[in-house]
A and B are shown apart, each in its own frame.
Chain A
């Protein structure tokens, strides 16, 4: 089982940079790491996906070290609306499916 491990919760203040790290020791060679954001009463929403080094889009950056056993989601200058649960996903080794962990509950305060 390509299990992922993330912190249960994190606190931040508006305007700060937030980094959430996920460990995925058993990631397969060809698999990508994907991060999702979920607000209450909504389905998760795709944030960013990467394979190695660094990926950046309009909302976040994803840093992946050379051994690919972990990844860090970076949210620049968070706002109150970034309060949500963030999930790191890696395909289960040997399976053609995606399972979620409990995610990281990010609380942004004024």
Chain B
């Protein structure tokens, strides 16, 4: 199993450009989520999904869009990149978040720089 795969690992954008960070998991996990991590900070939740066709906002959703058309994939779209979105992005998945199923598996991260 590959686990959680994120692409790209590195990306440089100009202000106003759009892009999509890809996340795929092969563990048949229902729950998937996106976090961003800035220097010296913990991880902040952007969006999450509890199953195909269901998404919800996290702590810092503004400027980001998600969709969940399949169980495996959970792409994160930056609609119009801003320097404040310079960060490291992590995708994570699990069977669930309650009842002892909540071990999150993380991707390797995507480092995004917006100039």
Contacts and interface: CB of A to CB of B under 8 A. Distances in A.
Contacts of A32: 98-100, 102
B109 A97 contact: no
Q: Give the interface size class of chain A.
A: 20 to 34
A102 B104 contact: no
Contact of A30 (B35, B99, B109): B99
A14 B98 CA distance: 35
Interface string A76-102: 000000000101010100001111111
B42 interface: yes
Q: Give the interface size class of chain B.
A: 20 to 34
A110 interface: no
A49 B100 contact: yes
B33 A97 contact: yes
A43 to B, nearest CB: 3
A96 B42 contact: no
A44 B106 contact: yes
B100 A43 contact: no
A91 to B, nearest CB: 5
Interface string B48-88: 10100000101100000000000000000000000000001
Interface of A is mostly: loop
Contacts of B97: 91, 96-98
A41 B109 contact: yes
A32 B45 CA distance: 19
Given A49-B103, A100-B42, A102-B42, A43 B98 contact: no
A8 B88 CA distance: 21
Nearest to B91: A43
18 contacts: A30-B98, A34-B103, A42-B109, A43-B107, A43-B109, A46-B103, A49-B100, A87-B43, A91-B97, A96-B48, A96-B50, A97-B48, A97-B56, A97-B58, A98-B33, A98-B45, A101-B42, A103-B42
Interface of B: 31, 33, 35, 41-45, 48, 50, 56, 58-59, 88, 90, 92, 96-100, 102-109
List the 4 closest pairs (A to B, CB-CB), nearest first.
A43-B106, A100-B43, A102-B42, A100-B42
